[in-house]
Structure 1
Amino acid sequence: MVLPVLVMFATALVWGLLVVAAQIQCVDAARTGARAAARQDPPDAVIEVTREAAPPGATVTVSREAEQVRVVVVARPPILHGLPFELREEAVAAAEETAAEESVGEGA
Structure 2
Amino acid sequence: MRPQQRPPAGGATCSRPPAGGRERGGVTAELALVLPGVVLLLVVLLTAASAAVTQVRVADAARAGARAAALGETRTAVGDVTHQLAGDGARVRVSESGGYVVVEVSRDLAGPLALAGLVASSSSRALPEPGR
**Is TM > 0.5 for Structure 1 vs Structure 2?**
yes
* Residue aligning to 1:92: 125
1:83 aligns with 2:116: yes
Contact 2:103 2:125 in 1 (8 A): yes
Q: Structure 1 residue 84: deviation in Å?
A: 2.9
Q: 2:64 aligns with which of 32, 35, 38?
A: 32
Using the aligned pairs only, state the percent identity.
31
Segments of 5+ residues of structure 1 without an aligned counterpart are 102-108
8 Å contact 1:22–1:55 — kept in the other structure? no
| TM-score, scaled to structure 1 | 0.86
Matched, 1:3 2:3: no
Match of 2:52 among 12, 15, 20: 20
Q: After superposition, give the CA deviation of every residue in 1:52-102 in whole Å (9 maximum; x if it has no partner).
A: 11134111111112421001111111212211321110001111112xx6x
Q: Supply the distance in 1 between the matched residues of 2:75 and 2:98 (Cα, whole angstroms).
A: 16
How many residues in Structure 1 have an aligned counterpart in Structure 2? Answer: 99
SS in 2 for 1:27: helix
Runs of 5+ in structure 2 lacking a partner?
1-32
Correspondence for 1:104: none
Aligned equivalents of 1:31, 1:12: Cα separation in 2: 29
Greater share of helix = 1
Bigger relative contact order, structure 1 or 2 (CA pairs below 8 A, ≥6 apart): 1
